[in-house]
Amino acid sequence: MKIALNLFDFTQKVNYRNEILAGLTVAMTMIPESLSFAILAGFPPLVGLYAAFIAGLITAVFGGRPGMVSGGAGATVVVLIALMRSNGLEYVFAAVALAGVIQILIGLFKFSKFIRLVPQPVMYGFVNGLAIIIFMAQLNQFKVLSNGQLTWLQGEPLMIMIGLVALTIAIVVLFPKITKKIPASLVAIIVVFALVVGFGINTKTVQDIASVKGGFPPFHIPNIPFSLEAFKIILPYSMIFAAVGLTEGLLTLNLVDEMTGTKGNGNRECIAQGTSNIANGFFFGMGGCPMIAQTLVNLSAGSRARLSGIIAAITILLIILFGAPIIGKLPMAALVGVMIMVAFGTFEWASFKIIKKMPKHDIFVGVLVAIITVILHNLALAVLVGVIISALVFAWESAKRIRARTTIDAEGIKHYDIYGPLFFGSVMAFSEKFTVAEDPDTIIINFKESRITDMSAIEAVNSITKKYSEAGKTVHLQNLSADCIRLLNNAEAVIDVNIIKDPEYLVAIEK
């Protein structure tokens, strides 16, 4: 049971008061966000709330990271907008379910480890971009629908909104100085709610966005043709949805690991996420993934276990079933204030302190990832671009490290001592180190401080040996590691060289 459900691991100290209060706070912030994203995509509002309940509950119980909160996130919803407009809601449900299957397969095959390829500058850009998105999303609450267009609030409604948001922020900042036993964000929501209801203040509320009243999520098989054509329609959306969800989820998991000093399980999170999305597809949910804003609200409220996520999900369901009239009166200003403080807490302000010490290409990558995240709202694309640029920079820097030191021994044999990795990026510089015409009849290329790593490197060595062979000279390779020898043996059809047998070197491996 300890392995299956950390919630019931009684050796773990769980602060039940913090967990319950954190769960209630998270639920309050998830409701308007889920409604907003559902409406943005053209879904029925309840589809967003069902996603928050289903994804939140399943990932809280079975996920790989206690304290992380999942729901109907904007990053994944954006992927489905085009499918909704072209084929309708039934295809959306089918695409979400198929995305869940893909995510489970990724978890079963343990592909989550590839998140290690994301470098720190990309993480900075990802976090800062999300912080800006969270902040910018709150500005829409200062607008009102007029004649079919969103226009800024003006006059008294604007002043009331600004005043209530400022009050919320002040409570969130100052209340922890009084006590940290109760989440400041929950106190701020309750106080502003009481003021608005008690004094009859006319301001924007949750029910102005959409109704939150409904029943239990009904079971429903997506009504689409069971055909190859339908599969071809939903597959691209499902793959992108799965990639975006897992990218955001695994990056959020790493972020929580750093904040809590503990270790999550990425593969388990993939499987839990996939399971929740399959359930979403069959229970009228729009699907989702871990939500960094709500996760940070949860952590800042003191949650470190699974209970808060379960409480948040059950609270959302109870609100759908019974609490809609009360929650509908919740002022949006209180939720906006809380989310603004979450945005400020999410932003990596430390990145400004170390920016002068970072290499220029790392600064460029971080800024570019943040810009793509903010402008396109496509986290997967932003991270992919960042990783590719970082990899190219690494390849370029590694290519410059290839060096050769030459000596001629008493027998007239010339030795080339190679330093640095030999791979596709460094083969040109490697080839330029040799002077075939001036060299003696026998040369030895020493790879003690180098490694042959890919087919381009094999071809470069082959090219050099051919040049010496055509000149009637002999080449020997020395101090090749066992993996390099295996690589060359596998490429015997391409290259035929003399390898000087070296002692067996033992290499430490990780079990």
Please tell me the pTM assigned to this model.
0.70
Query: How do residues 32-58 score in pLDDT, each as one tens digit?
Result: 778 777 876 778 889 999 999 999 999
DSSP string covering 2-18? TTT-GGG-TTS---HHH
Is the pLDDT confidence value at 156 over 50? yes
Sorted by sequence, the CB contacts under 8 Å of residue 234 that are 6+ apart come out as 83, 91, 94, 95, 98, 224
Q: How many CA atoms lie within 13 A of 314 on its CB side?
A: 11
**Distance (Å, whole) CA 134 – CA 293:** 7
Sign of the Cα pseudo-torsion (140, 142, 144, 150, in order): negative
Between 295 and 497, the more confident residue is 295
Given this model, what pLDDT does residue 12 score? 62
E strand residue ranges, 317-373? none
> What mean pLDDT, rounded, does the chain reach?
85
**Distance (Å, whole) CA 75 – CA 126:** 12
Given this model, what pLDDT does residue 492 score? 60
**Residue at 59: amino acid letter:** T
Query: How do residues 179-199 score in pLDDT, each as one tens digit?
Result: 877 778 888 888 999 999 999
Is the pLDDT confidence value at 396 over 60? yes
Burial label, 205 (beta-carbon count in 10 A; 0-12, 13-18, 19+): buried
- For the chain, how far is it from start to end, CA to CA, in angstroms? 26
Of 166, 106, 152, the residue nearest 340 (C-alpha): 166
- Percent of the chain at pLDDT > 90 equals 37
Given this model, what pLDDT does residue 143 score? 86
Q: What is the mean pLDDT of residues 244-273?
A: 88
- In this prediction, residue 326 has a pLDDT band, given cuts at 50, 70 and 90, of confident
E strand residue ranges, 7-160? 70-71, 143-146, 149-152
Only one residue has tokens 């929950």, namely 186
- In this prediction, residue 1 has a pLDDT band, given cuts at 50, 70 and 90, of very low
Structural contact between residues 33 and 69, judged by C-beta atoms closer than 8 angstroms: no
Given this model, what pLDDT does residue 413 score? 92
Given this model, what pLDDT does residue 509 score? 39
**Distance (Å, whole) CA 234 – CA 256:** 32
Query: How do residues 102-149 score in pLDDT, each as one tens digit?
Result: 999 999 999 888 776 778 788 788 778 878 877 887 888 888 877 778
Domains of the chain, with CATH numbers? 16-392 (no CATH), 402-491 (3.30.750.24)
Could you write out the three-class secondary structure of 437-500?
CCCCCEEEEEEEEEEECCHHHHHHHHHHHHHHHHCCCEEEEECCCHHHHHHHHHCCCCCCCEEC
- In this prediction, residue 221 has a pLDDT band, given cuts at 50, 70 and 90, of very high
**Distance (Å, whole) CA 478 – CA 463:** 17
**Distance (Å, whole) CA 150 – CA 153:** 9
Given this model, what pLDDT does residue 2 score? 45
Q: Regarding beta strands 289-290 and 403-408, do their DSSP bridges make them parallel or antiparallel, or are they unpaired?
A: unpaired
Q: Regarding beta strands 149-152 and 143-146, do their DSSP bridges make them parallel or antiparallel, or are they unpaired?
A: antiparallel
Is the pLDDT confidence value at 6 over 80? no
Between 257 and 211, the more confident residue is 257
**Distance (Å, whole) CA 485 – CA 480:** 6
Query: How do residues 415-424 score in pLDDT, each as one tens digit?
Result: 999 999 999 8
Sorted by sequence, the CB contacts under 8 Å of residue 131 that are 6+ apart come out as 343, 344, 346, 347, 348
Structural contact between residues 416 and 148, judged by C-beta atoms closer than 8 angstroms: no
Question: Which run of H or of E encompasses 420?
Answer: strand 414-422
Structural contact between residues 55 and 288, judged by C-beta atoms closer than 8 angstroms: yes
Is the pLDDT confidence value at 4 over 80? no
Q: Regarding beta strands 498-499 and 474-478, do their DSSP bridges make them parallel or antiparallel, or are they unpaired?
A: parallel
Q: Of 121-130, 141-150, 163-172, 488-497, which has the strongest mean pLDDT? A: 163-172
3-state secondary structure of 336: helix
Of 76-80, 138-142, 160-164, 395-399, the one with minimum mean pLDDT is 76-80
Given this model, what pLDDT does residue 503 score? 42
Task: Count helices and strands (H / E) in the chain.
Answer: 19, 9
Query: How do residues 10-37 score in pLDDT, each as one tens digit?
Result: 456 788 899 999 999 999 888 877 877 7
Sorted by sequence, the CB contacts under 8 Å of residue 109 that are 6+ apart come out as none
